[in-house]
Amino acid sequence: MPPLTLWLVLPFLVLLAAATTSPTRATTVASSFHGQREFDYFAFALQWPGTYCKRTRSCCPTNGCCRGSNFPTVFTIHGLWPDYNDGTWPSCCSGSSFDPKEILTLTNSLEQYWPSLSCSKPSLCHGGKGTFWAHEWEKHGTCSYPVFRNEYDYFVAVLNLYFKYNVTSVLNDAGYVPSNTEKYPLGGIISAIENAFHASPQIVCSKDSVEELRLCFYKDFQPRDCALGSDIKINMVTSKKSCPKYVSLPEPVSVSKTGTMDFKVGAMMM
């Protein structure tokens, strides 16, 4: 080939090579990120402060249970977890650590909707202890690759999901309001969520109190059932294993600095 013709076709050859090789490389990277197989779906875990905060024994500035009138009266975020269909999940998928600077602009929203409901510092992936957000990002967020490739995108998406799927108002509208005396049928709570979001949740109880409600999503954020018929460890993801037939949704009560209940919130804020 004469040199001039070679210069003319070279850019096309480079483009062609890129177009044919990059999908293969992308698949390889995505299916084995830092040695972990790519996840199958997301579980979005929400916690009920009425149940969590009953266990509070001490207060500290970061404990959402001790916020007086700013105390959470709605389901708050626990985390968005990439999971496998067999009931297991990947964790700690990258060598990088949580960087609070990356989510500085989200801090107010995160404090309100994703508060820690305890004073204990959870463990981090690379040693030591850290904030609730650091723990959730390092343990779970880093495994959400290739859907999320950085900390900021992960936290923004979790907040958006929280605003879009308002579990507290769905339950409230169906008559499942916080109460220290009423018991509600577990099946009724599950049906209310199914009717609203067209997928069945997973509910986790502490004794007979609802502690967590988990919604599940495909990787494109379409809702899916948390337990699929083909799950191998199906018992792990059914609410029946964790909850009795009738459950309670205890009224959220703020805790004082000495660890006693001091502030009862009457109406839920939607």
Give the x/- contact pattern for ligand U2P in 61-100, rule: CB under 6 A: ------------------x-x-x-----x-----------
Nearer to ligand U2P, 43 or 193 (CB): 43
Rg of the Cα atoms in the chain: 22
> Among candidates 68, 106, 20, 17, which has minimal Cα distance to 254?
68
Nearer to ligand U2P, 81 or 176 (CB): 81
Interacting residues with ligand U2P between 6 and 45 (CB under 6 A): 43
User: Residue from 139, 162, 248, 265 that binds ligand U2P (CB under 6 A)?
Assistant: 139
Structure tokens at 153: 């995108």
> Among candidates 197, 225, 203, which has minimal Cα distance to 85?
225
Structure tokens at 87: 């009931």
| Per-residue CA distances from 267 to 39, 179, 253 (Å) | 39, 11, 11
Shortest separation between residue 155's beta carbon and ligand U2P, angstroms: 15
Shortest separation between residue 3's beta carbon and ligand U2P, angstroms: 60
How many residues touch ligand U2P (CB under 6 A)? Answer: 6
- ∠ at Cα 113 (76, 118), nearest 5°? 65
Specify the DSSP class assigned to residue 124: P
Shortest separation between residue 44's beta carbon and ligand U2P, angstroms: 10
Active site residues: 78, 136, 140
Q: Which residues bind ligand U2P (CB under 6 A)?
A: 43, 79, 81, 83, 89, 139
